[in-house]
Amino acid sequence: METGTHNESNIEEHVEAFFVNHSPFTIEGKRAYGLLCFGRFSAVLEYKTRVTERTKQSELLLAQGCGIFATVELQASGFGSLFKQMIPDPSHRSQILHNIVCGGVEDGFLIYASQTEIIRVVHVRVGVDVTTTYRAALTVIRDAHLKWVYEENNLQLWRALVRIIDDLCRPLPPAKHILPSLVGFWNRIKGGIDVYSRHLTNV
């Protein structure tokens, strides 16, 4: 669980009581992680705070339709329609799936709350077949496009990124381009279109 900026620490105080009253689970302990990694924990808790009236109403409607505590199991043979129904936001679906698989656990809980109370909780259970497929996909992506990140000589870059993320207490904004520093430097000093750029474009 990563404590965010929208009142998550306040909501965290109500989690244990909510689980006792509305679910078959109990929380033995909680710990905040920055960059989620394979660790010794039983489940992932992901908080989503609803601060506008529209988003609160949306969650209340979902709580009425799906229940204030609902469980969905992800299996490779399933179509995921219930998963989409319970968690309409695709970024929330991908985040909880990624955190469960990369955390090396089978269970995750998406906790939707207002600034004062928990509205609903979705328990996501990920099957072994989904975990295997997801990890295989990540491995293919890493080997094809990100292998350079894991090389020894790029370790300082990797550590610098981790430091920035930890300082911000949230993920980095989406990257549009990854440019070699030499190209970035050239783009800054060359100004507008010059003769050389025009010639290179026409080659």
Please check the confidence at residue 118 and state whether its pLDDT lies above 80: yes
**pLDDT digit string, tens, across residues 48-61:** 988 889 999 999 99
Whole-structure pTM over 0.75, yes or no?
A: no
**pLDDT digit string, tens, across residues 187-200:** 666 665 555 565 55
Percent residues over pLDDT 90 in the chain: 36
Q: Is 82 helix (H, G, I), strand (E, B) or coil?
A: helix
Print burial letters for 54-86: b (CB count within 10 Å at least 16), e (below 16): ebbebbbebbeebebbbbbebeeeeeeeebeeb
Structural domain containing residue 150: 1-203
- Looking at residue 7, its pLDDT comes to 65
- Looking at residue 1, its pLDDT comes to 38
Task: Report how many domains make up the chain.
Answer: 1
Average pLDDT over residues 179-184: 67
pLDDT band at 3 (very low <50, low <70, confident <90, very high): very low
Percent residues over pLDDT 70 in the chain: 78
Average pLDDT over residues 66-74: 93
**Tokens 């960059």 belong to which residue?**
35
- Greater model confidence, 157 or 62: 62
Burial classification of residue 150, based on how many CB atoms lie within 10 Å of its CB (0-12 exposed, 13-18 middle, 19 or more buried): exposed
